[in-house]
Amino acid sequence: MALLQERKLEIFSEYQKHPTDTGSSDVQVALLTERVNQLTTHLKLHPKDFSSRRSLLKIIGQRKRLLAYVRNQDRAHYKQLIQSLGVRG
């Protein structure tokens, strides 16, 4: 199940750097985190859904690479971002 448009707009408004920002690293990480949370709850209900498990692992890897990029750019901003998302905690 994809993210609902209303939820995407909430994430954009919370993490965007300017009013038309929809693709910055912060926004991408926030969207991926929301998707990870959805897939995690799905897999708790359907533990044998291996295609969703594979998708979850791919999304986690992509989020990990984006977070590494943010960490290399600005470590203080990285710490604030992972704290606000509740990642690595």
Residue from 72, 74, 68 nearest 29 by CA: 68
CATH 1.10.287.10 matches 35-89? yes
Residue-level pLDDT at 16: 92
- Own/partner pairs, 58-67, CB within 8 angstroms, 24+ separation: 59/32, 59/35, 60/36, 62/32, 63/29, 63/32, 63/33, 63/36, 63/87, 66/25, 66/28, 66/29, 66/32, 67/29
For the question of whether the overall pTM of this predicted structure is more than 0.75, the answer is yes
pLDDT of 52 over the 80 cut: yes
Domain boundaries defined on the chain: 35-89
